[in-house]
Chain A
Amino acid sequence: NAGVTQTPKFQVLKTGQSMTLQCAQDMNHNSMYWYRQDPGMGLRLIYYSASEGTTDKGEVPNGYNVSRLNKREFSLRLESAAPSQTSVYFCASRRSKAGGPRETQYFGPGTRLLVL
């Protein structure tokens, strides 16, 4: 059971380049999330998907787009990367849909992104 997997582990981009961060979970979870972690800032929610077919903005969505490809996969796209998007990106999943019982989120190992 791999849990939540993320690819790539590390990426260097030049300003203006685009890329997609991939996330997959094998726990049959309904909800999936993308966070970024910056030094001294904790984790901030970028986008989330309460269930397959739905996506919503989180706290810091500007400069990002997401796709809930199917129940397993939730990708994060940077269309035109900026140095301010240098961060560690975490994907997470949760069993229940919106309004479900209080449950924890399970996190992937993270993608380190450096934008020059």
Chain B
Amino acid sequence: DQQVKQNSPSLSVQEGRISILNCDYTNSMFDYFLWYKKYPAEGPTFLISISSIKDKNEDGRFTVFLNKSAKHLSLHIVPSQPGDSAVYFCAASDGSNYKLTFGKGTLLTVNP
């Protein structure tokens, strides 16, 4: 049973436009959410996170929104750049441990 779902395997956007990556979760105990970016042949790198006490967190071009009632979060990248092309993983943890549950990832392609 998948607790963290990224239903879009891929997304293609034009350079300069907004990229919106979505993530849904089923476990109501999750209270901390992270986004990781992964380039081919490299390990995932941390991008941005959000605690369940917030509904928005912003870091430069990256903003994560959390809708707890819908159990949904999204990552907005504005403006998108070709260097943002990568696989983006959504991950979640609950308050009882420090393990992360990952989604399957979304491949973002930003076209010049």
Interface string of B42-85 (1 = CB under 8 A from A): 11111001010000000000000000000000000000000000
Can you show 18 pairs from A to B with CB atoms below 8 A apart?
Answer: A40-B9, A42-B6, A42-B89, A42-B103, A42-B104, A43-B89, A43-B91, A43-B100, A90-B43, A90-B44, A92-B43, A94-B98, A96-B98, A98-B97, A102-B93, A104-B34, A105-B46, A107-B45
* Interface assignment of A41: CB less than 8 Å from any CB of chain B: yes
Chain B contacts of A102 at CB under 8 A? 32, 49, 51, 93
Interface range on chain A (Cβ under 8 Å from partner): 20 to 34
Q: Shortest CB–CB separation between residue B102 and chain A, in angstroms?
A: 4
Q: Is the CB of A104 within 8 A of B99?
A: no
Chain B contacts of A76 at CB under 8 A? none
In whole angstroms, what is the CA distance A107 to B44 when docked? 6
In whole angstroms, what is the CA distance A96 to B36 when docked? 19
Residues of A within 8 A of B (CB): 4, 31, 33, 40-45, 48, 50, 58, 90, 92, 94, 96, 98-100, 102-110
Top 10 closest pairs, chain A to chain B, by CB: A107-B43, A42-B104, A104-B46, A43-B102, A42-B102, A102-B32, A107-B44, A109-B43, A108-B43, A90-B43
* Interface assignment of B29: CB less than 8 Å from any CB of chain A: no
Report the nearest B residue to A35, measured CB to CB. Answer: B102
Chain A contacts of B49 at CB under 8 A? 102, 104
Chain B contacts of A90 at CB under 8 A? 43-44
In whole angstroms, what is the CA distance A46 to B4 when docked? 17
Q: Is the CB of B102 within 8 A of A110?
A: no
Chain B contacts of A94 at CB under 8 A? 98
Q: Is the CB of B44 within 8 A of A48?
A: no
In whole angstroms, what is the CA distance A33 to B99 when docked? 9
Q: Is the CB of B99 within 8 A of A43?
A: no
Q: Shortest CB–CB separation between residue B25 and chain A, in angstroms?
A: 13
Q: Is the CB of B43 within 8 A of A31?
A: no
Q: Is the CB of A106 within 8 A of B46?
A: yes
Contact of B100 among A50, A100, A105, A109 (CB under 8 A): A105
